[in-house]
Amino acid sequence: MSGAGSSVRRPVAAARSRGNASGSGPEPDARRAAAAAAGAAAARRRGRGDHGPLRLMEVSPRSLLLLGISSASLLLAVAFVAYTGVWRGRADGEAETPLRRVVRSVTPLDAPRMMDLPQFQGDHKESLYWGTYRPNVYLGIRARTPLSLIAGLMWIGAKNGQYFLRHVCQDSDELNKYGWTDHNGRDYGRQVLVDHGFLLTTSFLKEKGDGSGYGGDWAVRLDAKNEGSSLSEDQESTTHMFFYIADEAGNSITMGSHVPSSRGHVLLASGSHEEIGDWEVYLRSEDNLEIHKAGFKSVSMHNLSELVQQALATNAMQSGNLNLPDMAEDSSNIIVSQVSMKRSAKVDIVFLSGAASENPMIAERINRLTGPVLSTRLESKQKDFEKRYDQIFNVNNKINPKDLSVGVAALSNLLGGIGYFYGQSRIALPKGFTQKNGDKYIPYWPAALYTAVPSRSFFPRGFLWDEGFHQLVVWRWDVHISMDIIGHWLDLINADGWIPREQILGAEALSKVPEEFVLQHPSNGNPPTLFLALRDLASGIHANQFSDLESEKISTFLKRAYVRLNSWFQWFNSTQTGKSEGTFYWHGRDNMTTRELNPKTLTSGLDDYPRASHPNDEERHVDLRCWMLLATNCMCSIAEFLKTDSSLEKDYYKMSNQLSDFGLLNKMHLDDKTGAYFDYGNHTEKVRLRWFEVRDNDVMRRELLRETLQPPQLQLVPHVGYVSLFPFMMGAIPPESWVLEKQLDLISNNSILWTDYGLRSLSRASSIYMKRNTEHDPPYWRGAIWINMNYMILSGLNHYANEDGPYKDRAKELYDELRSNLIRNIVKNYHETGFFWENYDQKNKGKGKGARSFTGWTSLVVLIMGESYPTLHR
């Protein structure tokens, strides 16, 4: 995951340029709750304040006419610019061109919205209304609406004799394991969490039954068991969990009773919401529970942990008990219910929409979602899920049976990590411009995003180039969910055809990212990987892969998407082009840096992968050229089944043929000696990082700076790695070509890319292999094994293993061995650690490293097991 416009983040052992979710370490949302008998409050750190709405003011019609602006969305953007006085520091006469550019960057594309399609309304929309759409917390439920009711779980964990409040997913909690073992993306999920001696299984079930309001009802089962810890015998026998429900719109919530009713259930909270009517939350358990509550009024939902911590600490100091105070603030819109138990308990919590306590059907609806009936329904859902998994991915005869559960977990974690976000991206102003209040950004329009996320702890938000890989898995499982997700992303395209690569929407998402990493830069791109999934959908229609109903909806979807995809493509084709026709390079590299060994190319997604040492506009990047080939082929494929024959489609066919020209590709990028494809640019190998004595305000300090020992010159950049194999991944090499043999040599050479755990990202022979890029940036894409690129290389091997040619058998042999190595290593790490990892260590026996609990594109192991690969060729 990677990108442009934000600084590189360094999670634990590795960096990822996704914006720094943790800064120098994971953000400690869950600090110590309260020391028990002593009543000492734990140390805590306040989260950032809520980000209020942006005000707009009227602008004179004359001013707007002078700018030649007519669309309503453009009017709002200009109004904001005028109101905030964005042009501080520049003469008035210089502002018009930057103003127009800035306004366009925050103006939606003038095209029909994807999410307005009828197929995303009605039953489809309601069926996905509720879900586990808050992936950043261990268990979080919300609706797909901007101001939702949200629900979630906290608990007090113990480590080294101390209490800690668990809520937000973070590695500093040091949970032994957490993740979904089952999740169908719609109405069922099962998750296992192990927090030292505390074992917790959470199950989620949703239904639309008689009497339900919009979106239906849902239930959560908490199956908790305390197996002991380092605390005293008395302390370890009690477990404290906190279930909360909150209204983002600020509507007041009524705290329920404390005593179980005669019907065997406890009303925890009730209220009313505009979209679902009256609602109620009940608790039911056969175990002996102690229940305490608290109510809070707050517009900020990202600091719920701190509200609970503070209430516990205050009450602990007053009473000596680690309980909530059984009090509520006036007009509380957050109700927290503390459930304390001895040793173990099974607790069912049910949310009823369209409910009122006097309704005679309430008891029946509760019974359907609690107790033995819930147990039976959860077992049935689990069996249905496993059966569907077997039918779709067909892995039973392709992998070791004991590895099957790992593939199921990978899919479940990907689907369980799908979230819903709403807010405004922050778009960087041109260099030298600032608002009167000092802000260096302008907000995007308010927008929703329904998306999978790479990692619930480190990257719990949407990333553009990751999402294309996610959707390769998701569309095979549920094509309707996949189109919904892709449609949300395409609706984020602006008037220029650009999509912000990292989506930090809403206060909860913003609370995880330091301010300096939030801004998105409208000149910087990201690999257009959504074309991977879109090409599959278009090809699937040609191959009669879908039912008639699915084909109809996919066709409708692609027909509307075509305008937006064309705009997106044209943005790349106009902003990321090189000096020569048919060449491309990732814009946005820093050509002034003195601190980087090799200036990063964050926009490429490959971050610190070595490119030309001295960036300039002479560069040619072979990976971007291949992404453009994929995009043109996809646009041609969509045009074929839409039966369009305009000049636009003819241009796509012409460009596809040009980018498919093998001779031209070789002329631009091939090194004849090695058979590797290289970037081209102003480059020298004679660079190094060296300590210099630097004077700063009469104080001498040491600084690690780059030293160039030999002037750069225009040449191929001689670093063998993933970039060298991009034409191979895309099937752009003829199966009879000698170049293919050379590519297979590179792949299979232990001294270059091959390991027993997967292919390295960079050759061991590279001068930058495993080199730090700065004093604080350890190597990232300079040797580690990344699953998304290994999957793409497997796809290439599978392609050539099925193409007639002299290297067919060798491609098949390498395919089988690489596939086996990848599956074995991912499975081994999962069984040993309980997690999927961001990347894997090529030097340390394939050990997982970087961000853990990283399902993201590591979930491609599901497709590797099932031998399912993208359609990359026209």
Residue (of 318, 266, 314) closest to 294 by Cα position: 314
For residues 495 and 101, is the Cβ–Cβ distance under 8 A? no
Beta bridge partners of 687: 708
> Which 8-state DSSP code applies to residue 533?
H
DSSP assignment, residue 117? S
Half-sphere exposure of 119 (CA within 13 A, CB side): 19
In terms of Cα–Cα distance, which of 183, 180, 151, 152 is closest to 166?
152
Q: Determine how β-strand 289-296 pairs with β-strand 327-328.
A: parallel
Spatial separation of the C-alpha atoms in residues 636 and 660, rounded to whole Å: 13
Write the CA distances from 66 to 62, 81, 96, 124, 144, integer angstroms.
Answer: 6, 15, 10, 45, 40
Q: At what angle do helices 548-575 and 479-490 cross, to 10 degrees?
A: 30
In Å, the largest CA–CA distance within the chain is 85
Q: What is the rounded CA–CA span in Å between residue 563 and residue 109?
A: 10
Amino acid at 491: D
- Assigned token pair, 461: 């938000």
Positions annotated as catalytic residues are 607, 838
Q: For tokens 């309430």, name the residue.
A: 362
What are the phi and psi torsion angles at 64 (to 5°)? Answer: -70, -40
Backbone conformation region of residue 464, classed left if phi is above 0, alpha if psi is from -120 to 50, else beta: alpha
Phi-psi region of 229 (alpha: psi -120 to 50; beta: other; left: phi over 0): beta
Q: Crossing angle, helix 72-84 and helix 96-105, to 10 degrees? A: 120
Which residues have C-beta within 8 Å of that of residue 530, sequence separation ≥ 6? 464, 467, 468, 471, 486, 489, 490
Distances (CA, A) of 535 to 120, 506, 649, 869, 874: 21, 32, 16, 12, 10
- Strand, coil or helix: 459: strand
Taking the mean position of all CA atoms in its chain, how far away is CA 630?
22
| Full 3-state SS string of 790-840 | HHHHHHHHHHHHCCCCCCHHHHHHHHHHHHHHHHHHHHHHHHHHCCCEEEE
Name the residue among 742, 730, 735, 586 with its Cα closest to residue 660: 730
Strands in 35-187 per DSSP E: 130-131, 140-143, 149-159, 162-166, 177-183
Tokens coding 335: 């109700």
Give the Cα separation of 64 and 640 in Å (integer): 42
CA–CA dist 450, 470 (Å, integer): 13
Rounded Cα–Cα distance for residues 530 and 468 (Å):
4
What residue type is assigned to position 665 of the chain?
Answer: L
* Rg over CA atoms, the chain: 28
Question: Are 330 and 295 contacting, i.e. CB atoms less than 8 angstroms apart?
Answer: no
Measured distance CA(165)–CA(304) in Å, rounded: 11
Contact between residue 214 and residue 200 where contact means Cβ atoms under 8 Å apart:
no
Closest C-alpha among 345, 310, 305 to residue 325: 310
